Amino acid sequence: MASYVLLRTTFGITIMTHGLPKLTGSAHGSMADPMAGSVNLIENVLGLPFAPQLALFVALLESFGGLAIAIGFATRLFAPMLAVQMVAICLALGPTYPWIDRGIEYPIILGVVALHIAMNGAVAWSIDTRLARSARGA
């Protein structure tokens, strides 16, 4: 049980570290402007319309969805959304596999973890569990 909570919390915090720099306009690793990088990926690699709006949605999902998963709130809502995001990243970066070459190893692992969390929910030590207990006791 504790190992699952550690996995859920670490996953959520890791995802947050990708969203917050986009929202704050701060550098992330070698990326001086992560939001511009997201817009570019969505528009020019994935070829999707409304790239700035989708990039903002992704930044909000990563920031607040990551936080929600870390604390165990609405995990069955946010985890599948993040799993879909990881699939999109794999499609955009593939077929390169090694992460050192900006490949898909990292998003594959994160996507599988997101899928695992989506199927299991928050479980223990979470807001979801407290809310469920409160609802049963009411």
C-alpha of 4 from chain center? 17
**Distance (Å, rounded) from C-alpha 122 to C-alpha 71?**
8
pLDDT in tens, 35-86: 999 999 999 999 999 999 999 999 999 999 999 999 999 999 999 999 999 9
124 HSE (CA, 13 A, CB side): 7
Structural contact between residues 5 and 116, judged by C-beta atoms closer than 8 angstroms: no
pTM comes to: 0.91
pLDDT in tens, 76-122: 999 999 999 999 999 988 899 998 888 999 999 999 999 999 999 99
